[in-house]
Structure 1
Amino acid sequence: MPEITLNKPKKSSGPSAIGKSYLLAYNGVQTLGWTYLLWQSLVYFLNRGTLDAYWNEIKWTLYIFQGGAVLEILHSLIGLVSSGALVVFMQVYSRVFLVFAVLMVVQASTVSPGLPLCILAWSITEIVRYSYYGLNLINAVPQTLTFLRYSTFLILYPLGVTGELLCMYHSLDEIYEKKLYTISFPNEWNFAFDFYYAMYFYMFLYLPIFPYLFGHMLKQRRKVLGSEKKSKCN
């Protein structure tokens, strides 16, 4: 799912000078990386590229910069940012799972029409998010960027979720036929696991989780943008 946590640097004490420099570099690199991924995608499709070869065009960029998001869990664990590690893990997990457990392994998912939807939603979200965090470290966030940070999710979050579900849906037949990640009886562990049915269950979880997280972002939007309106009136 598109990243939605408020993973801001701590306001009370804040990171050290070294920590702030690192976070500036991290957010800057991630902003550039996701910008490059969006540019790759736009150029590819403007040049009449097809879904058949799209994954090969963008996969290494996605591996690097989506994989780089795992560092956000470490940032939380060592106190560089204020968000709890469990909350950050939950937000990072869904995308990492889709990229490294599904797209990386299941060829059918890479030719799903959901893939460009994911990349479009994810890349714009991350360009806004990482640039917001980076500028927030030096107290230089323009009002336009704040508005985008708390408004683009209204379109991009449903778009990204739709893309993710489409990618998983199109992976199901291949998972079933190849018995991917499946452990069958008999085996020495006396344990069975069917990834095909687990995927159905995982997709079903989007039904209760999506409204909850989307509602959370709506509350954050009202809180942040509402406070800005009040400050202008005062």
Structure 2
Amino acid sequence: MSAGSVKKSKPTELSFLGKSYLLAYNGIQTLGWLYLLVWSTAYFLDRGTLDSYWNEMKWVVIIFQNAALLEVFHAAIRLVPSSVFVVLMQVYSRVFLVGGVLLATESGPVSPGLPLCLFAWSVTEIIRYAYYALNLVKAVPQQLTFLRYSTFLILYPLGITGELLCMYHSLDEIAEKQLFTVSMPNKWNFIFNYYYFLIFYMLLYIPFFPYLYGHMLKQRSKMLGGLSKKSA
């Protein structure tokens, strides 16, 4: 589950240091995801295959996706007017996929869902971080605002589909290798089955997807409604 969202609150004036930090953070993230999108496009146009796709670009994903954890901290200290809960849900789902499936298994990265979710993530993040960066200097063009609050209509379901496919393709391997599974008896008197946990986690997309999608639809109506009034 991905696609960032901003919950509007009373605006607070950022310090020069805070604004400079956010400008650098959003600018670097924009360039990182742009690099990933261009690299991935060139890779598949050159007839690259899923067998080596993840190994070729995994460090780019690891670095820039895990850097998004900072956004939870940004929201927590009110550096940005975002909901900590919403940001945490959006960031956690991606970080979990990277660490708990793509890095942990061999079958997840060769799923056809990987290019789907990475394409959706890349386009979404290029637009989102560019919007945030330009908003800091009050230079957001209307076209970018429209893209920021419209592309999720297609990219969010596409990304969710890709994430679920990656998890689904990893299930047999997880069950066979008993990955991250703790069986009885053990000194902690504790049992944990990662295979069933992952199935349960996938089922959580059913209630959380409508919640996040509905939240973004409300933001779209609010932001683009105001945009259309300005244009009128």
> Same-fold call, TM > 0.5?
yes
Structure 2: gaps of 5 or more residues = none
Change over 3 Å in CA distance of 1:66–1:55 after alignment to 2: same
**Distance apart, 1:126 and its partner CA:** 0.1
Name the SS of the counterpart of 2:47 in structure 1. coil
Residue of structure 2 in register with 1:115 after alignment: 114
Residue of structure 1 in register with 2:126 after alignment: 127
Residue of structure 2 in register with 1:28 after alignment: 27
Deviations 1:59-78 (A, max 9, x none): 00000000110111111122
Change over 3 Å in CA distance of 1:156–1:136 after alignment to 2: same
**Distance apart, 1:7 and its partner CA:** 6.5
Distance 1:213 1:88 in 2: 10
**Bigger shift: 64-73 or 211-220?**
211-220
- Amino acid paired to 1:75: H
User: How do 1:61-72 and structure 2 match up within 5 A?
Assistant: 61-72=60-71
Distance 1:146 1:218 in 2: 14
Residue of structure 1 in register with 2:4 after alignment: 4
User: How do 1:94-113 and structure 2 match up within 5 A?
Assistant: 94-113=93-112
Deviations 1:187-208 (A, max 9, x none): 1111100010111111111111
TM-score (norm: length of structure 2): 0.97
Distance 1:120 1:14 in 2: 35
Deviations 1:27-67 (A, max 9, x none): 00000000000011001101100000000111000000001
**Distance apart, 1:14 and its partner CA:** 2.5
User: How do 1:48-59 and structure 2 match up within 5 A?
Assistant: 48-59=47-58
Deviation above 4 Å: which 4+ runs of structure 1? none
1:80 paired with 2:79, answer yes
**Distance apart, 1:167 and its partner CA:** 0.1
Deviations 1:78-123 (A, max 9, x none): 2211113233211110000000111011110000000000110000
Q: CA RMSD in A?
A: 1.3
**Distance apart, 1:4 and its partner CA:** 2.9
**Distance apart, 1:11 and its partner CA:** 5.7
Residue of structure 2 in register with 1:168 after alignment: 167
User: How do 1:11-22 and structure 2 match up within 5 A?
Assistant: 12-22=11-21
**Bigger shift: 84-93 or 186-195?**
84-93
Residue of structure 2 in register with 1:142 after alignment: 141
Residue of structure 1 in register with 2:44 after alignment: 45
Change over 3 Å in CA distance of 1:73–1:129 after alignment to 2: same
Change over 3 Å in CA distance of 1:60–1:7 after alignment to 2: farther
User: How do 1:193-232 and structure 2 match up within 5 A?
Assistant: 193-232=192-231
Distance 2:176 2:41 in 1: 34
Change over 3 Å in CA distance of 1:38–1:11 after alignment to 2: farther
Distance 1:7 1:186 in 2: 47
- Amino acid paired to 2:199: Y
Deviations 1:122-180 (A, max 9, x none): 00000000000000001100000000000000110010000000000000001001111
- Amino acid paired to 2:106: Q
Name the SS of the counterpart of 1:79 in structure 2. coil
